Amino acid sequence: MGGAWVYLVTGGCGFIGEKIVELLSQQDYIKEVRVFDSVVKEEVENLTTGTENVLRACCVLNIPYVVYTSSIAAVGPNTSCEPMFRGNEDTEYGGEVELPYGRTKAMAEKIVLEANGKKLSNGGSLSTCILRPNTVYGEGAAFLQELYLAARARKGVLDYLEPEDTERNHSYVGNVAWMHVLAARNLQLKPGLLAGQVYYCYDDTPSRKGFLVRHQLLATADPSLRLGSHIPYWKMWLMIQLHRIIRAILLPFWEPQPFLNLPLLNTIVTTFSYETDKASRHFGYKPLFTWDESRHRTAQWLKAAVGSLEPPQLHGKKN
């Protein structure tokens, strides 16, 4: 197989996709890395059911391996806001997913798993697996830039919505991308083990309190940033309802800026965390970047993004 493989990254111009392309291009067993993205080809924006199209094309063109990037949102929280506390890939969790984004990811996961083992036109079979990132931070994470600017507008105070006992996992984009690289390689080498499997993405980023992680990330870029206080659920609920009323009244004449909606608020305040080493056991995954490296690289990017220094030269690691 040496040097013969061609990899295609769909969505390769996106936040995670760009990092996957960067790491794939450093692997000596890969002949070529190709990118397919709506940013590159505007006409693909008119296509629907993209995952089905990819899988169908694989069967016709004899592409034997697919790694699908899903999300923890495909699992939950559900509409009853039931928590998941340090679960794993085998944890049973039911009910309808709360967020529309999560529902579409769950639908796509079902399609990908059902496609595993399908016959290719040359008589071979398709092998698929799924990776589920959580809250991903790092260079290019727009939500961090928005949080930072919002905190600066509040005189350097970062308030938060989730209760202090809420748990949520975070992972650095470089480690999420590295898990994709390893999963893709080992799906080729060990399809009997990886095919049909689902893996949560993880690294050594602290996972107990998400608001503390965000504060550490932002404070590494700007030490003057202070952690504020918890915003009560009832207050945000009232603000959401007020925004809906104002929007309904003013919409014919003026459209207010997008605001937090109730399903997203319910998701934020619900514990949804996991602990797992499945990726390590199945294909030898270890984080490529430590927590210290991850937050310092993120801080360098954030400083550049808000215009406080020239864009940093970040050199990716090669395994």
Q: Which of 29, 65, 68, 101 is catalytic?
A: 101
Contact call for residues 195 and 129 (beta carbons, < 8 A): yes
Structure tokens at 119: 């016959």
Contact 144, 298 (CB under 8 A): yes
In total, the chain counts a number of residues equal to 319
Number of Cα atoms under 13 Å in the Cβ half of residue 267: 21
CA-based nearest residue to 218, from 154, 264, 286, 274 = 154
Contacts of residue 36, Cβ cutoff 8 Å, sequence gap at least 6: 8, 9, 10, 11, 12, 44
Half-sphere exposure of 205 (CA within 13 A, CB side): 37
148 given a catalytic annotation: no
SS3 assignment, position 38: coil
Residues with catalytic roles: 101
